[in-house]
Amino acid sequence: MSVAAFHDCVGALLVREGEVLLGRRAADCAWLAGAWDMFGGHIEAGESEEAALRRELGEELGIDPLEVRRLGTIGGDHPEPWRLHVHVVTSWRGDPQNLQLHEHAEIRWCSPDEAKQRLGPAHADLPSLIERALATTRHSTGPG
């Protein structure tokens, strides 16, 4: 009996001044076309979660994360077994820019309610992870 391997990914909720940065996937994307999502991507063989997150945020947004905290993992079975390891990023070097227009049609800073509304349909646990990400930043002791 074999156990299905998980497709492991990392995702980042970038938080600034009480807002969350989200991207709307391009209409012709093979995965989640037109849906709103967080930034991140696949963990490559031999790569740690943190290394994958740094690589993906550099490729997609042109930033280098400075303060990263792991929030938790969500998962599912379709279209294949997958896990998304979600992190909150509260400090970074660089200005987030949409560097991969073929992947995201737009990026936007969203209020907590907007972020929960946009990500909620993707997974039932995302609204609570957004709340945790924002609560983490509200209790921050100062700049990093």
In the chain, where the domains are located: 7-45+52-138
11-28: burial string, b at 16+ Cβ within 10 Å, e else: bbbbbeeebbbbbbbbee
pTM score? 0.87
Q: What percent of the chain has pLDDT over 90?
A: 74
1-54 pLDDT per residue, tens: 445 588 899 999 999 999 999 999 998 877 777 889 999 999 999 999 999 999
Classify residue 17 by its DSSP letter.
T
CATH of span 7-45+52-138:
3.90.79.10
